[in-house]
């Protein structure tokens, strides 16, 4: 047996010799691209042998160019072979590639030892929507095995010799020039297009000549991997595969994926329904929202632990409960993917919100263990079940993140006991995610990130997310936003250059102002990241907490979403939320995440945590040790006990009395207003 | 916000149709966009266009239109000819409603109808291709191919189904209608997605989606206004001209239940006021379905031009 490398060298010598001996005119019929590979690589429209030699020289003896010139000098091929494919036909082929009805391109060369195995490869290529070209003995072998060939079958026989496979390269070159705006002679953009858009691989069966091996190997320059099917090629950069694994390996190497677009659930699913809400009277069943325990969690799992498309409901279904009922809910989404990272989990998890809202009869607010989900009566009447939320999510994640998610399974738990058992683990995971960002400082980075996910609800709202100030919904940290931008560069999280510092205490930056002005479409000129009085950030409505000035005591109170009672301001969370949401700047009030309370940058323009005079006991308890540690760090270990709650101070009068009694420092500080 | 002296703060110009000199067969071509101001504030109302819909399968046309056009409805080319010459439309919007049939597979007919309508018309053409995602690939290829060189305005690209329209536009040199569901951010995202497929910005027309007046039109109005303001404020991915097709206006209850004698008038009133409001909100092209709406819209545009 011989090595591929040695064959390539012999092939190169032979091709060089034939190039030197080349004479006459060279042309393909019905094309505006001369000899397309040569034209794309060198910018030279070759017409004759001398031109060919010049182009070959200029390209640094690119073997694809030699093969193309030599092919153009030869005669055509007879039916059923296509030979060179004219521009008009190619335009249609390119169209199917751009529109996604073809997922990638394959070239089969050589002569398979077992025609049935080759036929199986072709069948798999067809099933995966790959457009396959054939050159060499493989064509006769397939015909002999009863495989029907032709454009209609997406199996295109280019020619009887493997060397005819050069037309595969001229197809890619022309598609790049026709559809990708690649200019002739611009090798870099040609290579870029071939690598990113025209996803192709070659399956080489045995029996290639030295010249053909050299040619096939030269295709690697276009980012095309060569899979050696059958044991006759050794060495080189060729990837040995069993024929049965060839298609899967090729698709994996090129990141080719097949997607399905229709979601099999009995309700429409589209962004058109995202902004709608399901009111109490319209609701058949609800989950969470303070009435029942509920949470959502997306985790990365090893591929073998995820059964793609599997949806399981553990606990009561819609049929088991009366209209208007409330059920507990755990939405567990397990994803696997070669390019998935654990860092992406929170970013993908946040999309559960969007996807559930896409359903015509399903509605979702908030995040993590604060979620609130409803199904409408109309939807349930049309046959929608809790299970369909899982089906919707399973499909949407694969559709929207085809690059990162290969398999998804969804488990929906409506059994209260089980949900309660799972909650602590989920909370641990949330805490670990929050820890990853702990320790990063705003001054350590030059770039913040935006979030405009909520502009469907609050058209001018722009969240600016910094290491020390997570998104007000609490679900997206600076790291998450950076990753979200990586995954979806045109999406809702965009980099925000800090720019020049206007005021370090207020947290006002020129770059941030520029960005916010643009993203709010001129509505908001400037924001202070660390102040609630001077140009505070706008609020959508998803905030975990609201911080509000209490003028009577010169302090700030914080109320969280899960607290149903009245604050000492005489307003409940929802009343306050209605006042400050919708994308407005409301000095004196600001929507914040829980973690921001623990940040060193927490409302530092107003002296930060020292000013906090009241929060619900549930929030105090939740922040607990972390808040105590933060206060100790700031030299005020006893302040924790000086913060009132709904028991010690239900009204403003009680609050004044409480603060005076404990000697809260806020009372003696400069007036806030 | 409306400071138009800022460089680049104008709506991008989009060219529609191609004359013989430009590689097509149209007798005129149009340029839309180019505004540096809010609608009707000293911009160029002469660029505003009224399109009339012609359906290849009239069963999917509203009864009030079918009754009015009579036999024309059975010949899309004759209907299209009348749209330009009798009804005075600036351009025809050829809607392949046949693709709404179950199990549609008459792809050959698409090309034939395209050829006939192109032969019957002398002005640029809007083509609404497939109505069903699974037909997109076959239908848009045929529309694109049959109109090669004519610089059609090809619709409709949406966030989860834009590839076929984009591919047809790229392969055969057409412009694209990018429709989003009354959502400025999705409009922008779709334009970015289209640009990533290789469609240049000057070949995109935004359709923000339009409900009927009295049936949610104010949402469309507000989004159109914001798209325009964003474009003027320098957001290049939103600085495209807009098209509005208030197709729902002819199926509102007031039109459906109108007394037979009043039905045409009611249909035209509803369609006219919605379409005209769309112009006021910033649309460059409005698409209507009742022939008499065209006349009324043209008249009022004439008044504005003076």
DSSP letter (8 states) at residue A381: H
Would you call A665 an interface residue with chain B, using a CB distance cutoff of 8 Å? Answer: no
CATH architecture of A442-668: 3-Layer(aba) Sandwich (3.40)
Strand A283-288 to strand A325-327: parallel, antiparallel, or no bridges (unpaired)? Answer: parallel
How confident is the model at residue A523, as a pLDDT?
Answer: 86
Calculate mean pLDDT across residues A159-174: 96
Which range of A72-81, A128-137, B35-44 scores highest in mean pLDDT? It is A128-137
> Considering only CB atoms, which chain B residues are within 8 Å of A399?
160
State the span(s) of chain A assigned CATH 3.40.1470.10: 442-668
Q: Write down the residue that tokens 């870029």 correspond to.
A: A192
- Number of Cβ atoms within 10 Å of the Cβ of A508: 21
For A555-601, what is each residue's pLDDT tens digit? 999 999 989 999 999 999 999 998 888 888 999 999 999 999 999 99
How close, in Å, is residue B189 to chain A by CA atoms?
6
Would you call B110 an interface residue with chain A, using a CB distance cutoff of 8 Å? Answer: no
For A266-311, what is each residue's pLDDT tens digit? 988 877 677 678 899 999 999 998 899 999 999 999 988 998 889 9
Quote the crossing angle between the two packed helices B76-85 and B107-120, to the nearest 10°. 30
Would you call B199 an interface residue with chain A, using a CB distance cutoff of 8 Å? Answer: no
Across the interface, whether the CB atoms of A98 and B1 are under 8 A apart is answered no
The nearest alpha carbon in chain A to B166 belongs to A99
Q: C-alpha distances in angstroms, B279 versus A374, A593, A648, B45?
A: 39, 43, 60, 9
How confident is the model at residue A350, as a pLDDT?
Answer: 87
Calculate mean pLDDT across residues A226-255: 88
Classify residue B54: in a domain, yes or no: yes
CATH architecture of A271-435: 2-Layer Sandwich (3.30)
How confident is the model at residue B306, as a pLDDT?
Answer: 61
> Considering only CB atoms, which chain B residues are within 8 Å of A91?
145, 171-172
Across the interface, whether the CB atoms of A95 and B1 are under 8 A apart is answered no
> Considering only CB atoms, which chain B residues are within 8 Å of A178?
170-171
More confident residue, A341 or B108: B108
Classify residue B5: in a domain, yes or no: no
How confident is the model at residue B4, as a pLDDT?
Answer: 38
Beta carbons within 8 Å of A447's beta carbon, 6+ residues apart: A495, A496, A497, A498
Tokens of B49: 């266009």
Work out how many domains chain B is built from and give that number.
1
Written as tens digits, the pLDDT of chain B (306 aa) is 333 334 457 999 999 999 999 999 999 999 999 998 899 886 566 789 999 999 999 999 999 999 999 999 999 999 999 999 999 999 999 999 999 998 899 999 999 999 999 999 999 999 999 988 889 999 999 999 999 999 999 989 998 889 999 999 999 999 999 999 888 888 988 998 898 888 999 999 999 999 888 888 999 999 999 899 889 888 888 999 999 999 889 989 999 999 999 999 999 999 999 999 999 999 999 999 999 999 999 999 888 766
How confident is the model at residue B3, as a pLDDT?
Answer: 39
Calculate mean pLDDT across residues A370-392: 94
Across the interface, whether the CB atoms of A95 and B144 are under 8 A apart is answered yes
Q: Are A347 and A400 in contact (CB under 8 A)?
A: no
How confident is the model at residue A119, as a pLDDT?
Answer: 93
State phi, psi for A456 to the nearest 5 degrees: -65, -35
Classify residue B186: in a domain, yes or no: yes
Q: What percent of chain A has pLDDT over 70?
A: 98
Would you call A492 an interface residue with chain B, using a CB distance cutoff of 8 Å? Answer: yes
Across the interface, whether the CB atoms of B133 and A261 are under 8 A apart is answered yes
Taking the model in full, what pTM does it have?
A: 0.68
- What fold does the segment set A4-254 form as a domain? Rossmann fold (3.40.50)
Would you call B111 an interface residue with chain A, using a CB distance cutoff of 8 Å? Answer: no
How confident is the model at residue B1, as a pLDDT?
Answer: 36
Beta carbons within 8 Å of A494's beta carbon, 6+ residues apart: A449, A450, A452, A485, A515, A519
The residue range of the domain holding B111 is: 16-305
> Considering only CB atoms, which chain B residues are within 8 Å of A92?
141, 145, 171
Is residue A663 reached through a cis peptide bond, with omega within 30 degrees of 0 on the bond before it?
Answer: no
Calculate mean pLDDT across residues A156-165: 96
List the single range of A101-105, A461-465, B15-19 with lowest mean pLDDT. Answer: A101-105
How confident is the model at residue A236, as a pLDDT?
Answer: 83
Distance CA B10, CA B2 (A): 10
Query: Residues 138-197, chain B: which have Cβ within 8 Å of A?
Result: 140-141, 144-145, 159-161, 163-164, 166-168, 170-172, 180-186, 189, 192-193, 196-197
How would residue A457 be classed by pLDDT, with cut points 50, 70 and 90? low
Task: Tell me the average pLDDT of chain A.
Answer: 91
For A21-67, what is each residue's pLDDT tens digit? 999 999 999 999 999 999 999 999 999 999 999 999 999 999 999 99
Classify residue B125: in a domain, yes or no: yes
Q: Are A302 and A336 in contact (CB under 8 A)?
A: yes
How confident is the model at residue A165, as a pLDDT?
Answer: 96
CATH number for the domain spanning B171: value is 3.20.20.20
Classify residue B2: in a domain, yes or no: no
- Whether residue A380 has pLDDT greater than 80: yes
Classify residue B148: in a domain, yes or no: yes
How confident is the model at residue A456, as a pLDDT?
Answer: 67
DSSP letter (8 states) at residue A665: G
How confident is the model at residue A33, as a pLDDT?
Answer: 95
How close, in Å, is residue A340 to chain B by CA atoms?
22
- Whether residue A77 has pLDDT greater than 80: yes
Is residue B42 reached through a cis peptide bond, with omega within 30 degrees of 0 on the bond before it?
Answer: no
How would residue A454 be classed by pLDDT, with cut points 50, 70 and 90? confident
For A620-633, what is each residue's pLDDT tens digit? 998 988 899 999 98
Classify residue B174: in a domain, yes or no: yes
Task: Determine which of B4, B141, B167 to mutate to test the interface with A (most A C-beta atoms within 10 Å).
Answer: B167
């Amino acid at each position: 047996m011989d090595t591929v490398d040695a064959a390539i060298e012999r092939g190169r010598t032979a091709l060089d010799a034939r190039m030197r001996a080349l004479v006459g005119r060279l042309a393909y019929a019905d094309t505006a691209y001369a000899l397309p590979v040569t034209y794309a690589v060198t910018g030279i429209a070759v017409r004759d042998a001398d031109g060919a030699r010049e182009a070959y020289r200029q390209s640094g003896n690119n073997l694809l160019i030699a093969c193309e010139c030599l092919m153009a000098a030869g005669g055509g091929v007879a039916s059923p072979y296509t030979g060179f494919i004219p521009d008009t036909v190619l335009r249609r082929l390119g169209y199917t590639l751009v529109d996604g009805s073809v997922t990638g391109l394959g070239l089969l060369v050589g002569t398979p030892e077992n025609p049935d195995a080759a036929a199986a490869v072709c069948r798999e290529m067809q099933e995966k929507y790959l457009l396959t070209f054939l050159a060499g003995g493989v064509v006769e072998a397939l015909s002999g095995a009863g495989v029907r060939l032709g454009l209609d079958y997406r199996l295109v026989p280019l020619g009887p010799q493997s060397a005819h496979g050069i037309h595969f390269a001229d197809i890619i070159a022309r598609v790049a020039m026709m559809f990708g705006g690649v200019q002739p002679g611009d090798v870099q953009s040609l290579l870029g297009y071939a690598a990113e858009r025209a996803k192709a691989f070659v399956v080489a069966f045995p029996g290639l000549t030295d010249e053909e091996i050299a040619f096939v190997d030269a295709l690697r320059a276009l980012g095309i991997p060569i899979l050696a099917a059958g044991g006759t090629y050794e060495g080189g950069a060729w990837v040995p595969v069993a024929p049965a694994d060839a298609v899967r390996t090729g698709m994996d190497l090129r990141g080719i994926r097949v997607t399905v677009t229709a979601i099999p659930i009995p309700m429409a699913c589209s962004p058109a329904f995202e902004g709608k809400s399901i009111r109490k009277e319209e609701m058949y069943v609800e989950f969470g929202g303070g009435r029942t325990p509920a949470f959502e969690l997306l985790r990365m799992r090893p591929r073998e632990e995820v059964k793609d498309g599997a949806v399981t409901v553990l606990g009561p279904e819609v049929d088991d409960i009366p209209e208007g009922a409330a059920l507990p809910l755990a939405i567990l989404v397990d994803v696997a993917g070669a390019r998935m990272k654990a860092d992406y989990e929170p970013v993908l998890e946040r999309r559960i919100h969007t996807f559930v809202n896409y359903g015509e009869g399903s509605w979702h607010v908030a995040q993590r263990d604060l979620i609130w989900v409803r199904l409408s009566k109309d939807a349930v009447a049309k046959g929608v079940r809790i299970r369909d939320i899982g089906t919707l999510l399973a499909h949407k994640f694969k559709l929207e993140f085809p690059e990162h998610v290969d398999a998804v399974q969804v488990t929906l738990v409506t059994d209260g006991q089980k949900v309660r058992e799972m909650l602590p683990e989920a909370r641990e995971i949330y805490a670990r995610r929050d820890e990853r960002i702990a320790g990063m400082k705003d001054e350590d980075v030059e770039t913040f990130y935006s979030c405009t996910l909520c502009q469907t609800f609050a058209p001018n709202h722009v969240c600016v997310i910094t290491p020390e100030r997570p998104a007000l919904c609490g679900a997206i940290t600076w790291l998450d936003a950076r990753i979200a931008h990586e995954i979806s560069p045109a999406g809702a999280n965009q980099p925000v250059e800090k720019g020049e510092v206007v005021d370090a205490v207020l947290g006002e930056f020129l770059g941030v102002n520029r960005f916010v002005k643009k993203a709010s479409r001129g509505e908001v000129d400037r924001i202070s990241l660390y102040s609630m009085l001077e140009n505070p950030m706008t609020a959508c409505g998803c905030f975990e907490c609201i911080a509000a000035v209490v003028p009577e005591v010169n302090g700030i109170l914080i109320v969280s979403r899960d607290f149903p009672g009245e604050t000492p301001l005489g307003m409940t969370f929802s009343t306050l939320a209605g006042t400050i949401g919708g994308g407005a700047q409301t000095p004196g009030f600001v929507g914040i995440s829980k973690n921001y309370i623990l940040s060193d940058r927490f409302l530092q323009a107003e002296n930060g945590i020292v000013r906090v005079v009241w929060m619900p006991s549930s929030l105090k308890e939740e922040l607990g040790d972390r808040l105590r540690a933060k206060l100790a760090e700031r030299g005020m270990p006893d302040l924790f006990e000086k913060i009132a709650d709904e028991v010690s101070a239900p009204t403003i009068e009680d609050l004044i009395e409480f603060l005076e009694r404990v000697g809260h420092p806020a009372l003696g500080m400069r007036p806030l207003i | 916000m409306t400071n138009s002296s800022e460089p680049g703060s104008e709506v991008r110009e989009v060219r529609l149709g191609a004359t013989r000199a430009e590689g097509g067969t149209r007798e005129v071509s149009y340029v839309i966009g180019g505004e540096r101001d809010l609608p009707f504030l000293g911009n160029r109302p002469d660029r505003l266009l009224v399109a009339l819909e012609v359906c290849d399968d009239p069963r999917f046309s509203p009864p009030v239109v079918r009754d009015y056009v009579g036999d024309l409805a059975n010949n899309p080319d004759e209907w299209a000819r009348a749209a330009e010459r009798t009804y005075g439309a600036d351009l025809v919007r050829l809607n392949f409603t046949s693709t709404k049939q179950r199990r549609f597979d008459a792809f050959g007919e698409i090309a034939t109808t395209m050829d006939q309508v192109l032969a019957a018309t002398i002005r640029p053409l809007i083509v609404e291709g497939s109505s069903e995602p699974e037909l997109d690939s076959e239908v848009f290829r045929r529309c694109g191919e049959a109109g090669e060189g004519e610089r059609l305005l090809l619709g409709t690209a949406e966030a989860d189904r834009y590839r076929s329209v984009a591919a047809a536009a790229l392969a055969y040199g057409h412009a694209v209608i990018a429709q989003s569901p009354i959502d400025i951010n999705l409009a922008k995202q779709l334009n970015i997605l289209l640009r990533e497929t290789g469609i240049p910005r000057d070949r995109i027309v935004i359709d923000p989606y339009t409900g009927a007046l009295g049936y949610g039109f104010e949402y469309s109005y507000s989004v159109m206004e914001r798209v325009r303001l964003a474009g003027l404020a320098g957001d290049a991915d939103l600085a495209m001209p807009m098209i509005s097709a208030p197709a729902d206006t002819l199926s509102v209850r007031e039109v459906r239940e109108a007394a037979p004698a009043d039905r045409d008038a009611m249909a035209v009133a509803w369609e006219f006021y919605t379409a005209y409001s769309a112009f006021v909100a910033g649309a460059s092209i409005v698409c209507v379905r009742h022939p008499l709406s065209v006349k009324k819209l043209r008249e009022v545009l004439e008044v504005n031009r003076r």
